[in-house]
Structure 1
């Protein structure tokens, strides 16, 4: 079902973006738990994409640069 559709470079970019959103989630927590939750969900999804080598946008035939 989730066939790998991104290369190593795409996985690295998604992992870095996921870590960035995880840091943003932790930083936003004292100010807005809703924003922190949204950032946390985005981080989890990006890290999932990086770990599986699968991109949801590419699965929908949307061209991505990485």
Structure 2
């Protein structure tokens, strides 16, 4: 199975601007999760921020957007 610049089984569906946006968003969410953990925020909130951030970083790395894969048009 050939992979064109993305992860196995995921066909890239976002461009450079979308990848950069998702990477920045993911890193911000991961930073918020770390800060929230340090500040004693509720565990479910910290884990939600961390999961969202990790998924956004994954989308940036793979060049793949889950919303676009579901047929939702995104601007970037």
TM category (shorter chain) comes to: over 0.9
1:33 aligns with 2:33: no
Aligned length: 66
Higher relative contact order (CA 8 A, sep 6+): 1
Gap regions ≥5 residues in structure 1? none
Q: Which stretches of structure 1, 4 residues or more, deviate above 3 A after TM superposition?
A: none
| Bigger radius of gyration | 2
1:27, distance to aligned residue in structure 2 (A): 1.3
RMSD, aligned CA: 0.7
Gap regions ≥5 residues in structure 2? 1-8
TM-score by length of 2: 0.83
Aligned with 1:53 (options 45, 63, 74): 63
Q: In proportion to residue count, which structure has more helix? A: 1
